[in-house]
């Protein structure tokens, strides 16, 4: 189901090349792993020398769409963009769309994870519920956009565990499991992640 979309039929992707509108290497690896087995050739925005647009949106959806649109218009090819983050219940949904910014200009996610842990400690609560949220946007050069939203629920642990994945993965334990995304085999994570949830919707609507 496409969340927030009103058209009954989504546009099908007939092109065989896709620009991945991200400069985040971890996201590029995960998205390429989802798309390439379907026969699409993927090119990163960085490889094309495209600038990374400022994320001025107030939602994951808005940020994913502005990045996908910028890449599609600049490259003349369909572009796929992801905007995602960690939402912690006891922190009012923070860091949310500011998840990357909590890591600072140096993208220091060790510091960002510690900041989450410290903020939780300051609340004096025992609520560790959290979720990863992802908005995935596919934009064509004519400006048409299809957007899908996925999520995965879990809890925050501290200290961080595992060195797989990226971002906040080492402090997130998905519901029904006792290991973090940082400890999990990448294929297992890809099967259940927020990004995989959004991608399944995209696949059913636009790619299959």
Parse the chain into domains and list their residue ranges.
17-207
**Predicted pLDDT at 73:** 96
171 confidence band (pLDDT: 50, 70, 90): very high
Query: Structure pTM?
Result: 0.88
pLDDT above 90: residue 29 = no
**Predicted pLDDT at 188:** 94
Query: Residues 124-152: pLDDT tens digits?
Result: 989 999 999 999 999 999 999 999 999 99
pLDDT above 60: residue 71 = yes
Known catalytic membership, residue 110: no
Determine which one of 47, 82, 83, 163 is catalytic: 83
**Predicted pLDDT at 145:** 97
Domain boundaries 17-207, corresponding CATH code: 3.90.950.10
For residues 28-34, average pLDDT: 83
pLDDT above 80: residue 167 = yes
d(CA 83, CA 199): 12
d(CA 80, CA 44): 10
């Amino acid at each position: 189901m496409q969340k927030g979309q009103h058209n009954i039929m989504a546009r099908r992707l007939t092109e065989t090349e896709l620009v991945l509108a991200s400069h985040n290497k971890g996201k590029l690896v995960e998205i390429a792993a989802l798309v390439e087995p379907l026969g699409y050739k993927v090119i990163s925005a960085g490889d094309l020398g495209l600038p990374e647009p400022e994320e001025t949106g107030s939602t994951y959806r808005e940020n994913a769409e502005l990045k996908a649109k910028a890449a599609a218009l600049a490259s003349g090819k369909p572009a796929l963009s992801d905007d995602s983050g960690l939402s912690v219940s006891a922190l009012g949904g923070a860091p949310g769309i500011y998840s990357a910014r909590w890591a600072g200009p140096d993208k220091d996610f060790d510091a960002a994870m510690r900041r989450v842990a410290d903020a939780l400690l300051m609340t004096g609560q025992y609520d560790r519920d959290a979720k990863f949220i992802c908005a995935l946007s596919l934009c064509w050069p004519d400006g048409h956009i299809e957007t899908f939203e996925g999520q995965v629920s879990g809890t925050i642990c501290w200290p961080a565990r595992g060195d797989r994945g990226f971002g906040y993965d080492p402090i997130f334990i998905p519901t029904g499991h006792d290991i973090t995304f940082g400890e999990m085999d990448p294929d297992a994570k890809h099967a259940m992640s927020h990004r995989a949830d959004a991608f399944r919707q995209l696949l059913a609507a636009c790619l299959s």
